């Protein structure tokens, strides 16, 4: 049975400031490319931008598909890149990741924490990975863990932000929506029990999503490498550049957030590709 792994992060002010860098897809060696894009180079350009725009943050979130094929070398490089931020980092596995290899680089023992506290806020990090499958599923263990975490936070009068890799709601891309969290109804049934939950944050979709549902902020984010074209029935890369999401979690429970992209660096992407699952 999955267990809660808590980490308490001290914050200096009343606003919790987070960065989400997701779907980095680092290859086995630096300089290798995904759909024509050097994913190490694009990630470093995104980090350069994030450091300029948000030099002080409370944590950096990597919400899955951090390595393109779960390479240990990729995770080791990623730790080094994220260490440029003077802040703790927390990761989730995506469908491309190898959780055991992620754990190998978890020197501090905190990287894969799933109940993270920042002042009056809690982050719950859920594992939606199904080994060997592209689509997402939480299952009973993760849902029980979620309910336990939210119940504890509610007793302590904390607001909660729930993070996972796969998207739990349709986003209007037919091929991607076939991969969303298969038991999303069960997820939202748990969330509905706890009005202190203020948002759900995910990766996987390589595009910006920002909606509201019954008081919940629903947020999907761009990749630090190749982007996916919104509204596409089949796989289609987009011309938009790499980016990241910033979040400001306020003491009154509201979430301020936005997406920034690297517009001043040229990137190459194969727009004619039919996908990259075998790359």
Q: Which CATH class is domain 6-261?
A: alpha beta
Q: Is the pLDDT of residue 278 over 50?
A: no
Chain centre distance of CA 197: 17
pLDDT tens digit string along 214-233?
889 999 999 999 999 999 99
In whole angstroms, give the CA distance from residue 151 to residue 154.
5
Say what the pLDDT of residue 273 is. Answer: 83
End-to-end CA, the chain: 34
Q: Which of 71, 111, 53 is nearest to 243 (CA)?
A: 53
Per-residue b/e over 2-19, b at no fewer than 16 CB within 10 Å? beeeebebebeeebbbbb
pLDDT tens digit string along 18-69?
999 999 999 999 999 999 999 999 999 999 999 999 999 999 999 999 998 9
Q: Are β-strands 197-202 and 159-164 bridged in parallel, bridged antiparallel, or unpaired?
A: parallel
194: pLDDT confidence band, cut at 50, 70 and 90? very high
* Residue found under tokens 């038991």: 183
pTM attached to this predicted model: 0.96
Contact 67, 100 (CB under 8 A): no
Say what the pLDDT of residue 275 is. Answer: 78
Say what the pLDDT of residue 119 is. Answer: 95
Strand order from edge to edge, sheet including 255-261: 89-92, 59-63, 16-20, 243-249, 255-261
* Residue found under tokens 């979690």: 249
Residues 147-163 have a mean pLDDT of: 97
In whole angstroms, give the CA distance from residue 167 to residue 181.
6
Say what the pLDDT of residue 279 is. Answer: 45
- The token pair at 211 is 């909606």
- Better pLDDT: 243 or 272: 243
Q: Is the pLDDT of residue 277 over 70?
A: no
- The token pair at 28 is 């086995």
Say what the pLDDT of residue 74 is. Answer: 96
- Rounded percentage of the chain residues whose pLDDT exceeds 90: 90
DSSP structure string for 91-144 = EE--TT--HHHHHHT-TTS-TT-SEEEETTEEEEE-----TT-SS---HHHHHH
Q: Which of 249, 245, 248 is nearest to 258 (CA)?
A: 245
Chain centre distance of CA 10: 21
271: pLDDT confidence band, cut at 50, 70 and 90? confident
Say what the pLDDT of residue 100 is. Answer: 93
Cα 263 to Cα 28, 29, 36, 159, 243: the distances in Å are 27, 25, 18, 34, 9
pLDDT tens digit string along 65-118?
999 899 999 999 999 999 999 999 999 999 999 999 999 999 889 999 999 999
* Sign for the pseudo-dihedral over CA of 55, 56, 57, 59: positive
């Amino acid at each position: 049975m999955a267990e809660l792994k808590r980490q308490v992060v001290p914050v200096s002010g009343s606003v919790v400031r987070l960065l989400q860098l997701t779907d980095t897809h680092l290859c086995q060696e630096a300089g290798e490319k995904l759909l024509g894009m050097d994913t190490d180079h694009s990630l470093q350009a995104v980090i350069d931008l994030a450091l300029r725009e948000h030099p002080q943050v409370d944590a950096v979130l990597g919400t899955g598909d951090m390595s393109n094929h779960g390479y240990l070398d990729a995770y080791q490089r990623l730790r080094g890149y994220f260490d440029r931020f003077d802040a703790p980092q927390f990761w989730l596995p995506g469908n491309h990741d190898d959780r055991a290899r992620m754990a190998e680089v978890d020197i501090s023992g905190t990287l894969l924490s799933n109940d993270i506290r920042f002042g009056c806020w809690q982050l719950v990090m859920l594992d939606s990975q199904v080994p060997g499958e592209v689509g997402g599923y939480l299952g009973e263990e993760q849902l029980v863990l979620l309910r336990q975490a939210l119940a504890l936070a509610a007793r302590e009068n904390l607001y909660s932000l729930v993070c996972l890799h796969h998207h739990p709601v349709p986003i209007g891309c037919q091929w991607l929506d076939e991969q969303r969290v298969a038991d999303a109804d069960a997820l939202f049934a748990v969330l509905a029990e706890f009005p202190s939950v203020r948002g759900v944050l995910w990766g996987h979709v390589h595009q910006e999503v920002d909606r509201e549902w019954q008081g919940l902020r629903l947020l999907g984010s761009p990749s630090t490498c190749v982007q996916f074209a919104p509204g596409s029935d089949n796989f289609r890369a987009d011309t938009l550049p790499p980016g990241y999401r910033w979040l400001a979690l306020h003491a009154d429970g509201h979430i301020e957030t936005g997406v920034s992209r690297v517009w001043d660096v040229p990137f190459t992407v194969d727009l004619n590709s039919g996908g990259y699952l075998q790359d």
